[in-house]
Structure 1
Amino acid sequence: MELRVLRYFLAVAKEESITSAAQSLNVTQPTLSKQLMELEDELGKKLFLRGNRKITLTEDGLFLRKRAQEIIDLTDKTTSDFNNDCDDIRGNVYIGGGETDAMRFIAKTAKELQKEYPHIRYHLFSGNADDVTERLDKGLLDFGILIEPANMEKYDYIKLPVNDVWGLLMKKDCELAQKKTICPEDLKGIPILTSRQTLVQNVISGWSGQDFQTFNIVATYNLVYNASLMVDEGFGYALCLDKLINTTGNSNLCFRPLEPRLEAHLNIVWKKYQVFSKATKKFLNKLQDEINNFVSE
C-alpha cells in the first residue's frame, strides 16, 4: 500500500467524485480509477459505492479513511521534523487538549518562543482525554494537556501552574442562579448535562458523597460548547469547568462554582522515551522557563 495511493484515496473520499479528485491531483481519470480498483483488490474490500452523481464510502472505506489520514498526517509530521537545520529552526508542534483556560498559558509560551523562532508552526487539536491520548499514542501529537484525573502511566509530564474550577452552568433567570455557590444538595432532581468521561464522573461522585448515577443525567457531552447551547435553550444544567463559556454581557448564562470548592489540576504530557524534534524541544524548554518564571513571581 503506497502513500501516493492513500493520498489518491483520501482525495476521492473528500471530493466524492473521481473526476474532481483527478483534477485536484493533476492525474488522468483512468489512472485514478485504476489505482482505486487496485487498492480495493489489494485489501480485498469494497471501499466505494459508485453512484450516478457521487461516490460514497462503504463501512470499510470509512475505516480506511480514518487510518489513511492518520498515516498521512504522521508521515507529513515526520518529514517536517527532519526538514530543519541547526541555524534556522523550523517545524511543527502538535498540541492536543480538552477545553481548558490553561491553553492561555500554552499560548503565552508559543508567543514568547515565536520571538526567537518565528518559523515554528503550531497545530491544535481539541478533544477529550480519550481523543488526545489516542493521538498521542499514535504519534500524531507531540503534547497533550490532560485534566486530572487522568491515567498518566504511559507519559512523562509537567504539572502546569494553573487550575480550573468545577461548577454549574445555568441560565441567569433560573432559581439556582441566585446562589453564589452550588452544593451537592442543589443537584438533586435537576436535569444535568455532564462530561461523558468516567473519571470525571468519579470525581463528582467523590465531591458529592453519592453515586453519580443517582443524579438526573439527561445528556453527556464531549466538548462543552454544544452543551452550553442546550443549557441556553433551558434543557438542563451543565457540570463543567469555569471560563470556557462566555457568561458576561448579553449572555443568558451564568456559572456558579461548586461548594466545597473542586479544582482540576492540569498536566502537559508526552510519550515516555519520546524523541523530540528541534522545534518541539525548543517549545518544551520555553514552557519550563515560563513555568519557573510564573512560580517565582
Structure 2
Amino acid sequence: MDIRQLKYFLAIAEEGQITSAARKLQMAQPPLSQQLKLLEDELGVKLFERGPRSVQLTDAGIILRNRAQQILELADSTTREINDFAKGMKGTITVGTVSSSGATLLQDRLREFHKMYAGIKFEIHEGNTFMVIDLLNKGIVEVGIVRTPFNTTNLECKYSSAEPMIAVMTPDYDWSEGEAFMEVGELQNKPLIIYRRFEQLIREACIDQGFEPSFFCMNDDARTTLLWANAGLGVGIIPKSAFGLVNNSNLLYKEIRSETLRTRVAAIWMKDKYLSSLAAKFIECFG
C-alpha cells in the first residue's frame, strides 16, 4: 500500500464509480481497477461492493477512507514543511483549534507571535475538542487550542486566564432590560441554546440552584449558538470571548455571576513526544 494507491482509492470513494474516478485521475479505467484489486488483495478485504453502475464502500472501506484522508493530509503537510525549509523559510506550524478559541487566539498572542516570527506559516485544522485531541494523537497537528473542560491524560497543557460565560439574546428575550450581569437562577424556564460540551457544566450549575435547565438546542459549535440566538430562537450560553465570532447585530449579553460557569482556553500537546522548535516558540507566546 502506497500513497498513490490511497489517492486512487479515495478518488473511487468520492466518485462512487471507477469510470468517473479514472476520468478525474486522467487515467484509463483498467489500470485503476487493477490497482484497486491489488490493494484489496494486499489488505485481504473487499473495500467496495460493486453494483451495475456504482460502487459502495464496505465497512472495511470506510475505515480505510478515514485513515487514507489522514495519511494524505500528513503527507501533504510534510511535503510543504520540507519545501519551506528548502526555500530558506522558517517552516509551518500545524495547529488544531476549536471554534470558540478563535477570538482568544487572534487577540494579542498571534499578532505578537507573527511580528517576532514573520516567516512562520500556519496550517489550521478546525473541529471540536475531541477531534483536536484525536489529531494530536495521530500526529496530524503538533499543538491544539481547546477549551476546558477536557481530559488531560497524556497531554501537556498551558492555560489562559479563566473567563466567564455569558447569556446572549435578542431584546425580545431581555427579561431585565439594562442589566449587564445576571444570576444562574434567571436561566430557569428559558429556552437555552448551548454548545454540547458545556451541557454537564450548565446542567450542574442550574441544578445547584434548584431547577432543571430547558435545553432548546444543543450543538457542536459556538458559532451555531450565536446564529440561533441572533435569529431570536432562544438564549445562548457561550464563553465571553466568543461573542464576536459571527455577526451579532441583534444580540445583547449578560455576564453570568458564577464561579462554576467559567472556562479557559488551553494550548495542549502530547506528553513524551517530539515537539518542534517552532511549536515550542508558539506555545511560549500562549497564555
Whether TM exceeds 0.5 here: the answer is: yes
User: What TM bracket, shorter-length normalisation?
Assistant: 0.7 to 0.9
Letter paired with 2:270? K
What residue in structure 2 maps to residue 102 of structure 1?
A: 104
What is aligned with 1:176?
175
Q: What residue in structure 1 maps to residue 253 of structure 2?
A: 255
User: How many Å apart are 1:66 and its aligned residue?
Assistant: 0.9
Aligned to 1:28: 28
Q: Does 73-82 or 177-186 show the bigger shift?
A: 73-82
Q: Does the 8 A contact of 2:230 with 2:248 survive in 1?
A: no
Match of 1:267, SS state, is: strand
Going from structure 1 to structure 2, the CA distance change for 1:185 and 1:212 (only over 3 Å counts) comes to: closer
Which AA in structure 2 matches 1:4?
R
- The residue type paired with residue 228 of structure 2 is M
SS at match of 2:208: coil
Q: Cα gap change, 1:155/1:250 in structure 2, threshold over 3 Å: closer, same or farther?
A: closer
Q: In 2, are the aligned partners of 1:159 and 1:267 still within 8 Å (CA)?
A: yes
- Corresponding position: 1:282 with 2:278: yes
Question: Is the Cα–Cα contact under 8 Å of residues 247 and 253 in structure 1 kept in the other structure?
Answer: no
CA–CA distance in 1 between the matches of 2:235 and 2:47? 43
Q: Which is worse superposed, 234-243 or 204-213? A: 204-213
Cα displacement string for residues 229-269 of structure 1 (whole angstroms, at most 9, x for unaligned residues):
33344432222122434499872222221113643222211
Write out per-residue CA displacement over residues 181-202 of structure 1, whole angstroms, 9 at most, x where no aligned residue.
23121111222222222xx344
Cα 1:168–1:10, aligned 2, differ >3 Å: closer, same or farther? same
2: CA distance, partners of 1:149 / 1:61: 34
Q: For the residues of structure 2 that align with 1:29 and 1:12, how far apart are their CA atoms?
A: 11
Residue correspondences, number: 282
Q: CA 1:95–1:50 in structure 2 vs 1: closer, same or farther (change >3 Å)?
A: same
* SS of corresponding position for 1:102: helix
Moved more, 222-231 or 247-256: 247-256
Contact 1:193 1:237 in 2 (8 A): yes
On the 8 A contact 1:113/1:283 being kept in 2, the answer is no
Structure 1 segment 44-59 matched on structure 2, within 5 A: 44-50=44-50, 55-59=55-59
Q: Is the 8 A contact 1:224 1:240 kept in 2?
A: yes
> Which residue of 233, 236, 242 maps to 2:234?
236
RMSD of aligned Cα (Å):
3.2
Maintained 8 Å contact 2:94/2:141? yes
1:114 CA displacement: 4.7
CA-to-aligned-CA distance 1:35-85 (integer Å, 9 cap, x gap): 123323444444335556654434433332111111222333345555565
Please show how residues 121-136 of structure 1 align to structure 2 within 5 Å: 121-136=121-136
* Correspondence 1:1-297 to 2 at 5 A: 1-50=1-50, 55-81=55-81, 85=85, 88-98=88-98, 99-100=100-101, 101-105=103-107, 106-115=109-118, 117=119, 120-160=120-160, 162-176=161-175, 178=177, 179-197=179-197, 200-205=198-203, 207-208=205-206, 210=208, 214-246=212-244, 251-260=249-258, 262-277=261-276, 281-285=277-281, 287-288=283-284, 290=285
The alignment-based identity, stated in percent, is 27
Deviates more, 1:122-131 or 1:229-238: 229-238
Amino acid at match of 2:64: L
Whole-angstrom CA distance in 2 between matches of 1:247 and 1:78: 31
Please give the per-residue CA displacement for 1:122-142, whole angstroms capped at 9, x wherever unaligned.
Answer: 111222211111111111111
TM-score with structure 2 setting the length: 0.82
- CA 230–86 in structure 1, closer or farther in 2 if over 3 Å, else same: closer
Structure 1 unmatched ranges of 5 or more:
none
Letter aligned with residue 72 of structure 1: L
In structure 1, C-alpha distance between the alignment counterparts of 2:13 and 2:141, rounded to whole Å? 24
Judged with a 3 Å threshold, the aligned counterparts in structure 2 of structure 1 residues 80 and 232 are, in CA distance, closer, same or farther, namely closer
Q: Which runs of 5+ in 2 are unaligned?
A: none
> In the alignment, residue 62 of structure 1 is paired with which amino acid?
I
What's the TM-score once normalised by structure 1's chain length?
Answer: 0.79
